[in-house]
């Protein structure tokens, strides 16, 4: 059976897919968007938005617990799990409703169902075939699991953890990446005894080691146990909880085990490889223009190797729509995409860490401005710092190539940091900027002043 022909056919309605659809529509193309679940994808329904809602609940819990420090008499009496989920789900539903309105406004044809590539720029859904001049693959990712560890009511991935019907007294998090440390942070704020198990030598191993040290120190102060360079041998679930055995022979018990070992590309069941689309370990192989091995077929988002971030997929979706339109957009390198981990404290970074910068530029210089010298950070009672890396040895004025920040709310500072790195700004350029007082943004300005050789508040 034949469906309709479109200028652009998009398989997957997550951040990359719907951004591509909206931009293609703006550019005058007819657009068909195929999505088997809900437009918004993992980010809106099972990722960024609901997890950050839980993290905000956790922040409120921490504020209530420490309110007397700020002169407010309040008590933390626990988490109302149903009310918390109502708040989280309400946030998601409001955004979803708004997104549905935008889909209608852009006059995008939507098809609900599981799409399978059947070749010749054609996708089949429930026996109906849809064709297009250009096809964009945006099928997203799934929560990885570990062979031999069976999921259940108490052994869960992030998908199930978002809707957990109880607050655990003891929790084990398997995986010290972004997802793992965010959930560890949430449960610790809720009052749980949390242990993070990570096979690599440090938490958030994709970040600069300086960030890892700060986070691990902060977690220790909060009572979160981090066991790095450790592997799990087995995990068994019972009615009462979970028993985890480590390869060392140690055993740990908890109410819940979160398996947070990353996300895999969702490409196995959509006909990609069967119809000539080259894959590498499940990821779609593309060139820098996001073209696949099949003419007229593009890929965006988590199925393309690299950072698995909603805003990266969003940017790639816009890029591909403009590429199809012949506008010759400029690709954005992965290191220029900002990264934020919304734990307590937050980590925010863009550009290269020290080791990667040294490999690329040879001589480098870095400075760290401690948040203890920043007025707003003292008001917020947050510890941490801002590290800026520039190319060139001592006394040089090379461009800023990396910014790494640790502290509550530092994710809000990443915009200026991204501009500095992407525009290859010199510290001496930024040193003249006026940063509002009192803001945490001043700390970034102070780091730039120090790199420019004119530190104002640094101790000699």
User: Which residues carry out catalysis?
Assistant: 437
Which 3-state string (H, E, C) describes 368-388? EEEHHHCHHHHHHCCCCEEEE
- CA 345/CA 323 separation, integer angstroms: 39
Q: Which residues contact 210 (CB under 8 A, 6 or more apart)?
A: 353, 354, 368, 387, 404, 406
Number of Cβ within 10 Å of residue 65's Cβ equals 14
* 345-to-66, 107, 209, 211, 408 alpha-carbon distances in Å: 15, 42, 15, 10, 5
Do the beta carbons of residue 384 and residue 410 sit within 8 Å? yes
145-155 exposure pattern, b = at least 16 Cβ within 10 A, e = fewer: ebeebebeebb
Q: β-strand 232-237 against 242-246: which pairing, if any? A: antiparallel
> Crossing angle for the helix pair 209-222 and 178-189, nearest 10 degrees?
20
Q: Is 444 exposed, middle or buried (0-12, 13-18, 19+ CB in 10 A)?
A: buried
Torsion angle in degrees (nearest 10) through CA of 442, 447, 452, 454: 70
Nearest to 381 by CA among 223, 218, 180: 218
Q: What size, in residues, is the chain?
A: 460
Q: Supply the DSSP symbol for 304.
A: B
Q: Is 401 exposed, middle or buried (0-12, 13-18, 19+ CB in 10 A)?
A: buried
Taking every pair of C-alpha atoms in the chain, what is the biggest distance, in angstroms? 77
Q: How far is CA 217 from the centre of its chain?
A: 22
Q: Is 30 exposed, middle or buried (0-12, 13-18, 19+ CB in 10 A)?
A: middle
Q: Is 274 exposed, middle or buried (0-12, 13-18, 19+ CB in 10 A)?
A: exposed
């Amino acid at each position: 059976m034949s469906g309709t022909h479109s200028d652009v056919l998009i398989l997957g309605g997550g951040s990359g897919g719907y951004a591509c659809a909206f931009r293609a529509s703006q550019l005058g193309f007819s657009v068909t968007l195929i999505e088997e679940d809900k437009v918004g994808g993992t980010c809106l329904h099972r990722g960024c938005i609901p997890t950050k809602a839980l993290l905000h609940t956790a922040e409120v819990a921490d504020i209530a617990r420490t309110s007397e420090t700020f002169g407010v008499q309040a008590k933390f009496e626990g988490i109302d799990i149903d009310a918390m989920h109502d708040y989280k789900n309400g946030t998601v539903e409001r955004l979803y409703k708004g997104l549905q309105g935008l889909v209608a406004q852009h006059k995008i044809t939507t098809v609900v169902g599981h799409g399978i590539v059947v070749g010749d720029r054609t996708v089949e859904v429930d026996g109906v075939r849809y064709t297009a001049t250009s096809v964009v693959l945006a099928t997203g990712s799934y929560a990885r699991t570990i062979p031999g560890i069976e999921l259940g009511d108490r052994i869960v991935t992030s998908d199930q953890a978002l809707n957990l019907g109880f607050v655990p007294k003891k929790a084990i998090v398997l995986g010290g990446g972004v997802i793992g440390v965010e959930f560890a942070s949430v449960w610790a704020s809720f009052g749980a005894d949390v242990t993070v198990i990570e096979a690599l030598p440090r938490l958030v191993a994709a970040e600069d080691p300086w960030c890892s040290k700060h986070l691990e120190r902060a977690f220790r102060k909060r009572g979160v146990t981090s066991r790095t360079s450790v592997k799990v041998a087995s995990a068994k679930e019972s009615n009462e909880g979970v028993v985890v055995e480590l390869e060392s022979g140690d055993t740990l018990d908890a109410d819940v085990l979160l398996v947070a070992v990353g996300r895999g590309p969702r490409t196995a069941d959509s006909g990609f490889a069967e119809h000539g689309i080259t894959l590498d370990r499940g990821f779609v192989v593309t060139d820098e223009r996001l073209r696949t091995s099949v003419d007229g077929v593009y890929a965006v988002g988590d199925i393309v190797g690299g950072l698995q971030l909603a805003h990266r997929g969003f940017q790639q979706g816009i890029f591909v729509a403009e590429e199809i339109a012949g506008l010759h957009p400029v690709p954005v390198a992965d290191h220029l995409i900002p990264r934020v981990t919304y734990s307590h404290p937050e980590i925010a970074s863009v550009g290269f860490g020290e080791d990667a910068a040294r490999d690329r530029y040879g001589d480098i210089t870095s400075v760290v401005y401690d948040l203890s010298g920043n007025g707003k950070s003292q008001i917020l009672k947050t510890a941490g710092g801002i590290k800026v890396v520039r190319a060139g040895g001592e006394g040089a004025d090379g461009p800023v190539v990396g910014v790494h920040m640790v502290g509550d709310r530092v994710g809000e500072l990443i915009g200026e940091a991204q501009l500095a790195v992407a525009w290859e700004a010199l510290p001496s350029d930024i040193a003249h900027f006026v940063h509002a007082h009192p803001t945490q943004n001043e700390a970034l300005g102070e780091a730039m002043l120090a790199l420019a050789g004119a530190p104002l508040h640094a101790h000699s």
